[in-house]
Structure 1
């Protein structure tokens, strides 16, 4: 039996836009994350901030722009750019794979990198020298849809393509805003956040896909942590992209502003089996 060298899929909690300039545990972790990964030939990011209803959009720009899709932050953030190239051929291949799996998928142009794409990548791959394709999530569809979406991309990891789901393990922005505006990053984690993240982590470690897909009914304080679930949907893309029988590993667990869990997971494909030797 030989081990597969396929890349894992990652779920990254990207946090607020200023994570890229913040001295937080999550930012420090992302800065060293690439050291433990084979260098990908390309990166596909399913971003919580790329919302498209009724179809799957795949960015196909040659030179995507950097989108500053936020307000009220430090001026230096608006001067930042992430000049990674796109890869239209990969985008078209993804559209073909998704269509074969029954999705209405389309390549789109004039779609730059939103902060769900460029903020984590600027920390993980600061040289911006790896082609990047971004993938939309559908706010009208739930976890099962996005798990199947990820599963349709499972073959990419063996070809050197890193699939990242970029969202937030918890995302009640209404509760987080006062602390965010006051810059109070180091706050205690409330019990209702801890209960939710503990449940999710346990289910992910157990590879309990059925329970995870039904998280809004089964997880404690699910709606309180995700009033809308677009920021958790990229998790399911990453989970599906590892393929069946993969291994889940918790790679980072911290919090920001008390209620934003910056939890991150790695989903490794199942080891490939070597073909059996026949007797002479």
Structure 2
């Protein structure tokens, strides 16, 4: 009998979280250590955009260093995890059954939104990974529906992850500044309260209802994986890591279901 996995939303931060003393990787690592190893990971990262839903599996993933100006040791890390064609086909079948068309995607690289948390969680890079695209031109409801279509994967020993950030305004980042502005904390508190309440209507209408929505997300792609994870996992949520780093980067991590 397969293990039923929760679905995760991870605020992945910058790649330097792996080396700068951030507590987030330890939280991801501890979560993974307290659960069985999944059959595969289905990952939707904020850094894999597309105009339409895509599902990708490869023989071995290439590591993408989609960042500049970070310490040299980060460019020496790699995550050559395998893919899983059977799981990728299962994902396509589930999306098709929900009336969601999938387009081909031949990109063979994992961006840092995917490999940074996975390197902390499964450092042996032996858990197969299937990648989905985030849809920057679609809304929260579309990503929630995408997740809902894949809710059954949790019963098949598959871990579904949405990787983004609860807040994401890089113009406001100040490295190692511990002060959290009110516009960050107010938005974050509102989001976490609605998640704790399971208030799906309010969450899907976050751009209109959440305080300081535009300030925290000048573009939407880093919050959209949250709605994907929420749809796939269900409304019961557990916050297993909380915090804000570098003034405006919320590092909250949640498990759904």
Deviation at 1:233, TM superposition (A): 0.4
Deviations 1:141-168 (A, max 9, x none): 0100000000000000000000000000
State whether structure 2 residue 247 is matched by structure 1 residue 258.
Answer: yes
1:207 to 159, 184, 198: 198
CA distance in 1, matches of 2:200, 2:186: 19
Deviations 1:114-141 (A, max 9, x none): 1010001111111111101111011000
Structure 1: runs of 5+ lacking an equivalent:
269-280
CA distance in 1, matches of 2:103, 2:60: 18
Deviation at 1:108, TM superposition (A): 2.5
SS at match of 2:68: coil
CA distance in 1, matches of 2:119, 2:148: 26
State whether structure 2 residue 70 is matched by structure 1 residue 81.
Answer: no
Task: Give runs of aligned pairs for residues 118-137 of structure 1, distance below 5 A.
Answer: 118-137=115-134
Q: CA RMSD in A?
A: 1.3
* Contact 1:11-1:238 within 8 A present in 2 as well: yes
SS at match of 1:136: strand
CA distance in 1, matches of 2:242, 2:16: 18
Higher Rg of the two aligned structures = 1
| Corresponding position of 1:112 | 109
1:35 to 33, 41, 56: 33
State whether structure 2 residue 129 is matched by structure 1 residue 138.
Answer: no
Task: Give runs of aligned pairs for residues 9-88 of structure 1, distance below 5 A.
Answer: 9-53=7-51, 55-88=52-85
* Contact 2:46-2:113 within 8 A present in 1 as well: yes
CA distance in 2, matches of 1:103, 1:73: 38
* Contact 2:57-2:129 within 8 A present in 1 as well: no
2:179 to 171, 188, 200: 188
CA distance in 2, matches of 1:231, 1:87: 25
Structure 2: runs of 5+ lacking an equivalent:
none
Deviations 1:80-127 (A, max 9, x none): 110110112211221121122122213433321110100011111111
State whether structure 2 residue 177 is matched by structure 1 residue 150.
Answer: no
Deviation at 1:5, TM superposition (A): 4.7
* Contact 2:27-2:240 within 8 A present in 1 as well: no
Deviations 1:164-206 (A, max 9, x none): 0000000001111xx2xxxx32421111100000000000001
SS at match of 1:134: strand
2:236 to 227, 235, 247: 247
Q: What is the aligned length? A: 256
Report the TM-score, using the length of structure 2 for normalisation: 0.96
Query: Where in structure 1 do 4 or more consecutive aligned residues deviate above 2 Å?
Result: 106-111
Structure 1 residues 74 and 117, CA gap change in structure 2 (3 angstroms): same
State whether structure 2 residue 225 is matched by structure 1 residue 234.
Answer: yes
| Corresponding position of 1:272 | none
SS at match of 2:10: strand
Deviation at 1:24, TM superposition (A): 1.1
